[in-house]
Amino acid sequence: MEKFNWNYPTTMWVGENRIKDVALACKNLGITKPLFVTDKGLVQTQIVKNTLSILDDNKFNTKIFSDVVGNPTDQNVYEGVESFKKNNCDGVIAFGGGSGLDVGKAIAFMSGQTLPIWDFEDIGDNWTKANNDKIAPIIAVPTTAGTGSETGRASVILNEETGVKNIIFHPKFLPSIVILDPVLTLELPPNVTAATGMDALAHNLEAYCAIGYHPMADGIALEGMRLINKWLLEAVNNGSNIEARMNMITAASMGSTAFQKGLGAIHSLSHPVNALNNIHHGLSNAIFMPYVLTFNKDVIEDKIIKICDYLELEKKSFDGFIDWTLDLRKQLHIPHKLSEVINKEDFDIDRLSEMALADPSTRGNPKKLTVADMKIMYQNSFSGDLFNE
C-alpha cells in the first residue's frame, strides 16, 4: 500500500467581530512589532483602519506594507522583507484576499532566509533547506471567501523574470492563528464574491477528485461544496447576510484544508493565464471548471455522482452536475468561455500549454496529462465547446 502524509490546520478564531481579538492574537504569539501586510486597494478601507486602531489602542508598534498586486510577485515579497527588517518587526499580520495572505506568509518565511525564494519552490524536499528557527509567526485574516490561503502551507508567487507562477512551500507557512470574521467580507462587491466563491468551489471539487487516499480531506471537501451550493448565491445577491458570509468564508478555509490531497487541471490551466494575462484566479477557475470535468469524465464519473447525491441535486448524474455547474456560473454572470476575457492575439496556447503541464497542480489530476491534453482543454475553453473523451 502506498504511503501518504496528512496534515491539518491551525488554531482558528471564528465568528462575528472576532477581528477585535487581533491584539490578543499578537500577545499570544509574542508579537510586539507586527508588519501588517495587505494589498494596495484594501489599505485605504475602513476595515483596515478599524483593525489598525485596535492594534494602536493596545499599544502595538504596527508597521504597514501594502505594495502587493493582484497576482503577487517575488518583488512584492522582497520589498516586504526589506520593510520587515528595516522596522525590526517580529511577526506578520497577513490581511486580505489571496494576494495579501500569500505575500504576508512569504515575507514571514523569507525574513529569516539567506537563499533566494525560488530555492523553496514546492519540488521534492526543497523546503528542508530553510532555516526553521528564523521564520516569523503569522496571523492570517482573510477578507474574501475564496483562496483559503489562511489554512495553507504554501504561497503562489509570480516569478517576474520567467512569467511563471510558482508554489513556495514550507510547513511553517501555515499561520499560527487564523481569524475568520464574516464582517470583514460584507463589503465585497457581487462580482468578487462570485469569483472568489467559485475559487473555493474549485478547491473543494478538485481536492475531492484528486488522486490519492485521504478520506478526511474528501469529507471536508464534500461539506465545503454543500455549503457553497447553499450559500454562494445568497452571498452574491444579498451581501449583508452575515450567515451566508460566515458559511462562505468557512467553505473557503475548508477547500484549502482539503486540497493538501491535491488539485488538478483546473488550477494547472488557470495559473498560466493568471501570470501571462492577469486574469483573476477565481474567475479563470470558474471558466475552466466544466471543460476539465468533461475531460476527466471517464475516471471521475462515480465521484461526481456521489457529489450530486450529497448536494441533493435534482439530477444525480455526471451530466446533471455539469448542468448544475453551468447554471451556477450563469447565475453568477461568469463567462462561459475564455475568449470573453482574453483576446485571440494574447492567447499563446503553445506557451500556456507547456506552462500548464509543468504546474505542480497537474500531478494531482485524476488523469495523467500531456501537453496535447492541455492544448485541447485550452482550445475548448476558448471556443466554448464542451466535449467528452
* Domain CATH for 80: 3.40.50.1970
Name the residue range of residue 318's domain. Answer: 190-383
The neighbour count for residue 9, using CB atoms within 10 Å, is 19
- Backbone φ and ψ of 348, nearest 5°: -90, 85
Mean pLDDT of the chain: 95
Q: Is the pLDDT assigned to residue 259 strictly greater than 60? A: yes
Is the distance from CB of 27 to CB of 133 less than 8 angstroms?
no
Is the distance from CB of 286 to CB of 329 less than 8 angstroms?
yes
Q: Is the pLDDT assigned to residue 388 strictly greater than 70? A: no
The last residue of one of the domains, among 185, 215, 244, is: 185
Q: Is the pLDDT assigned to residue 389 strictly greater than 50? A: no
388: in domain: no
Closest CA to 266 of 348, 367, 350, 188: 367
Pairing mode, if any, of strands 154-159 and 63-65?
A: unpaired
Both 203 and 333 in one domain: the answer is: yes
| pLDDT of the residue at 387 | 66
- Any idea which residue has 495587505 for its cell? 38
Using 50, 70 and 90 to split pLDDT, how confident is the model at 359? very high
What confidence tens digit (pLDDT) does each residue in 139-180 have?
A: 999 999 999 999 999 999 999 999 888 999 999 999 999 999
Q: Is the pLDDT assigned to residue 1 strictly greater than 80? A: no
Percentage, residues of the chain above pLDDT 90: 92
In one letter, which amino acid is 119? D
Is the distance from CB of 287 to CB of 337 less than 8 angstroms?
yes
Beta bridge partners of 179: 13
| pLDDT of the residue at 163 | 87
C-alpha span between 85 and 255 (Å, rounded): 33
56: in domain: yes
C-alpha span between 101 and 104 (Å, rounded): 5
The last residue of one of the domains, among 151, 169, 185, is: 185
Distance from the Cα of residue 233 to its chain's centroid:
20
DSSP class of 189: -
Q: Is the pLDDT assigned to residue 100 strictly greater than 50? A: yes
Percentage, residues of the chain above pLDDT 70: 99
The last residue of one of the domains, among 143, 161, 185, is: 185
Using 50, 70 and 90 to split pLDDT, how confident is the model at 355? very high
Using 50, 70 and 90 to split pLDDT, how confident is the model at 26? very high
| pLDDT of the residue at 149 | 94
| pLDDT of the residue at 117 | 96
Using 50, 70 and 90 to split pLDDT, how confident is the model at 196? very high
